[in-house]
Amino acid sequence: MKTVISTKGQLVLPAELRRRDGVAPGEEFEIERLGPGVYRLARAGAPVNLGLADLLLACPERGWFVPVPTESTADLEGPGFSEPDDQIPG
């Protein structure tokens, strides 16, 4: 695949490669000169959230969630649940 260096010295990474590798504007790359006219271009770091979608899809197992019936906090009783605000020190 060919690309062109601009008059400002900028190298354009073709859209097909950017799309395939998920390269976004502003990402940093490292460039290394391997020899006369031979260069290696590599992402400076892993993209944000690399593999996150795969992780979320893998865990937890689908169908495990069972909704729990809820109740109003006004119906709660027991230690720590007091009556009106006038009982709160302050």
Domain ranges of the chain: 1-62
Tokens of 77: 């009783």
Nearest to 18 by CA among 3, 8, 39: 3
| Residue 43 burial (C-beta neighbours within 10 Å; 0-12, 13-18, 19+) | middle
Q: What is the pTM of this model?
A: 0.46
pLDDT score, position 85 = 58
Q: What is the CATH number of domain 1-62?
A: 2.10.260.10
State the Cα–Cα distance between residues 18 and 25, nearest whole angstrom: 9
Q: pLDDT tens track of the chain, all 90 residues? A: 889 899 999 999 999 999 999 898 888 999 999 999 999 999 887 667 777 878 877 777 767 777 777 776 666 777 766 666 555 565
Q: What type of residue sits at position 8?
A: K
